A and B are shown apart, each in its own frame.
Chain A
Amino acid sequence: AQSVTQPDIHITVSEGASLELRCNYSYGATPYLFWYVQSPGQGLQLLLKYFSGDTLVQGIKGFEAEFKRSQSSFNLRKPSVHWSDAAEYFCAVGAGQGGKLIFGQGTELSVKP
């Protein structure tokens, strides 16, 4: 069955520290992978996506993610977190071509001064 797991429900990091949010997926074919961010009471904004090619993808706001097929992972990273990065982060796997997305449970990021 297709699934996405984000093991960390809530993470707190200090401003300026590095960040890694974990995402593991289970998908039969080559997955299309996405990271979205959601601020409170808002919709989702696409941070980055991976379909093929270079396994390290760059996104907006200084985020990057690395696709590791052997580990079925697509972890999101940022070298230096800003207070404005505090939000909910969702990893998702999709069938591509406008297909359905399967979302992880989300990771809430808090940033302390």
Chain B
Amino acid sequence: GAVVSQHPSRVICKSGTSVKIECRSLDFQATTMFWYRQFPKQSLMLMATSNEGSKATYEQGVEKDKFLINHASLTLSTLTVTSAHPEDSSFYICSASGTTRSSDTQYFGPGTRLTVL
């Protein structure tokens, strides 16, 4: 299957700081990337969908000013959690779909564990 990486895998930060998470498609061009949030023992909650070169589309209830998404190239999307607070602590997972791989299938990254102290 297609390979999607995320960096960092774990991050601990102080309350009030910003954290950037990178999502890369390593062996295909990702025209669309998705960002999810997952709480312990729960399913994935879609936060936003981003298409390369366009503004991200956020799901209802997700603060776009808090969770900044940039999809500047066909292989890279970033999620920046601005002014992070303890309630933002979670497991963030990205996925990607594209034209050179199956455009109808999402391939997931390994996730990033964010802990805000």
Contacts and interface: CB of A to CB of B under 8 A. Distances in A.
Chain B, interface size: which category?
Answer: 20 to 34
Interface in A45-78: 45-46, 49, 51
Contacts of A44: 44, 93, 95, 108
B interface secondary structure, majority? strand
Contacts of B32: 98
Given A51-B104, A96-B104, A103-B43, A43 B93 contact: yes
Given A42-B111, A90-B44, A100 B105 contact: no
B107 A46 contact: yes
A25 interface: no
Interface in B63-117: 91, 93, 95, 97-98, 103-111, 113
A32 interface: yes
A36 interface: yes
25 contacts: A32-B104, A36-B108, A41-B111, A41-B113, A42-B110, A43-B4, A43-B108, A43-B109, A43-B111, A44-B44, A44-B108, A51-B104, A94-B104, A97-B104, A98-B31, A98-B32, A98-B98, A98-B104, A98-B106, A100-B34, A101-B34, A103-B43, A105-B43, A106-B43, A108-B41
